[in-house]
Amino acid sequence: MTRGSWGPRSFQVSLIVAVVLIGLTLRGPIVGIPPLLSRISADFDFSPAVAGLVTSVPLMAFAVISPFVAVVARRVGVNRSICLALVLLGAAILVRPWIGGSGFLMMTAVVGIAITIGNVLLPVVVRRDGGPHIPKIMAASVSAYGLGQGLVAAIAVPLALLVGWRWSSTLPCLIVAAALIAWLVHWRNVQDRSSELPEDSRTVPIAAARSWGHVWRQGAAWWLAIFFGMQALLFYTASTWSPQQLVEMSGVSESTAGSALSGFHILGIGGTLLVPKLLEWLGGADRAGLLVAGGWFVFFLGLFLVPQGWPLWMFIGGWVQGAGIGLGITLIAIRPVSADYGRHLSGMVQCVGYSLAALGPVVIGWLLHVTAGWAVATGALLLCAAVMGVASRQAGSSRPIG
């Protein structure tokens, strides 16, 4: 499918439906678990540090597996790779509650691997099949991340009260099944099957091969990786531990904490869509990045100092996390000097960023266990927000990287 001709209406509809439904599956299986974490930890005798692995393990997969997805796609094709990823994701979600603590963590790693494939290849599909509507379709897909997160987080605890946390944690399987059906329909509707990947991704020029080593020596790339990593660390740490903090410090029920987390994720949709306006209003990505970092600082400080004001803090945090994710992805797209260099910059930033992010839930869980309170953990998160603010000046520079 070329960009000049988008194809018949059935093709257009199948692409949009498939992309949105797949987007719904790419975060919910991870962030839908924290509202259930106290029940899971009690059944499997997880310590707080081990419980933090439930969120960190998928992030480790994001960091480690991302560079290899393109190799797999070149061998088996983009369409087949996404199909296999959805099957793997659904199977892992369905199996993991029933095979003990070690098995739960193992299947959580498989969930991370499957989602990584979707993270990397979904933009490839949109570029290949999206014709003149690529930006709008990508926006719909990214917005679906937040919707999927919010939907699963909102239903997790109420459903667990009815049928137990094991059945509740398998809820995302229904969305995965719908996404798989939608993807098979779109796959059938793809008109041009002569190529699984865009022309420029089937070969690796010598100059592009050199770019992979070059990007790791660019200071600006490291600043962007630190900014992206701090954003991801703060987001996944908040998603993992804020429900427990609300229960312990604000005195709300598990169900209310789960609903608060759901609102936190859903508000992120608005934050993501606000990024273009923020760049326009503030006159630069560096200022927008500083604003996002400041928002994270206010969120964590507010939850600790005035826990009864949690509705306001979760409202602020929801908008901030959405804006941070949207800004990070936008910077990865606009900072590289060329499209070829952009693939290497994206790989480097996501590898470093998700490696940093994976530490967050585990380290905070360990600090909670060692100190038996939220003061030190909150201090560590405020420090990360400050580092993000410092990094935003270079990460948001208008100077191309490369």
- b/e string for 251-283 if b means 16 or more Cβ within 10 A? ebebebbbbbbbbbbbbbbebbbbbeebbeeee
pTM, to two decimals: 0.74
The candidate with the shortest Cα–Cα distance to 290, out of 324, 318, 326, is 324
**pLDDT value of residue 179:** 96
Nearest-angstrom CA–CA distance, 250 and 247 = 6
3-state secondary structure of 402: coil
Same fold, 1-203 and 210-402: yes
**pLDDT value of residue 8:** 66
Reported as a single tens digit per residue, the pLDDT across 164-190 is 999 999 989 999 999 999 999 998 887
Q: Where are the domains of the chain?
A: 1-203, 210-402
In which band, very low, low, confident or very high, does the pLDDT at 339 lie, cut at 50, 70 and 90? Answer: low
Nearest-angstrom CA–CA distance, 388 and 229 = 8
Reported as a single tens digit per residue, the pLDDT across 132-165 is 676 567 667 777 887 887 788 778 888 999 999 9
Residue type for position 60? M
* Span 340-369, average pLDDT: 83
Strand partners, 401: 336
**pLDDT value of residue 135:** 56
**pLDDT value of residue 166:** 94
Contact 388, 292 (CB under 8 A): yes
Has residue 193 got a pLDDT over 60? Answer: no
**pLDDT value of residue 197:** 41
Has residue 295 got a pLDDT over 50? Answer: yes
Has residue 289 got a pLDDT over 70? Answer: yes
State percent of the chain over pLDDT 70: 88
Reported as a single tens digit per residue, the pLDDT across 62-102 is 888 877 776 787 788 889 999 999 999 999 999 999 999 99
DSSP string for 229-257: HHHHHHHHHHHHHHHHHIIIII---HHHH
Reported as a single tens digit per residue, the pLDDT across 214-273 is 878 889 999 999 999 999 999 989 988 999 999 999 999 988 898 898 889 888 888 888
166: its two tokens? 């094991």
The helix (run of H) or strand (run of E) holding residue 376 is helix 375-395
For the chain, the average pLDDT equals 85
Pick one of 3.30.390.50, 3.40.1190.20, 1.10.1740.10, 1.20.1250.20 as the CATH number of 210-402. Answer: 1.20.1250.20
Has residue 381 got a pLDDT over 50? Answer: yes
3-state secondary structure of 336: strand
In which band, very low, low, confident or very high, does the pLDDT at 127 lie, cut at 50, 70 and 90? Answer: low
**pLDDT value of residue 340:** 56
Helices (H), 45-99: 48-76, 78-95
In which band, very low, low, confident or very high, does the pLDDT at 338 lie, cut at 50, 70 and 90? Answer: low
In which band, very low, low, confident or very high, does the pLDDT at 212 lie, cut at 50, 70 and 90? Answer: low
Reported as a single tens digit per residue, the pLDDT across 1-42 is 444 445 567 778 889 999 899 989 998 898 788 888 889 999
In which band, very low, low, confident or very high, does the pLDDT at 379 lie, cut at 50, 70 and 90? Answer: very high
Three-point CA angle 318, 323, 327, nearest 5°? 155
Q: If one looks up domain 1-203 in CATH, what number appears?
A: 1.20.1250.20
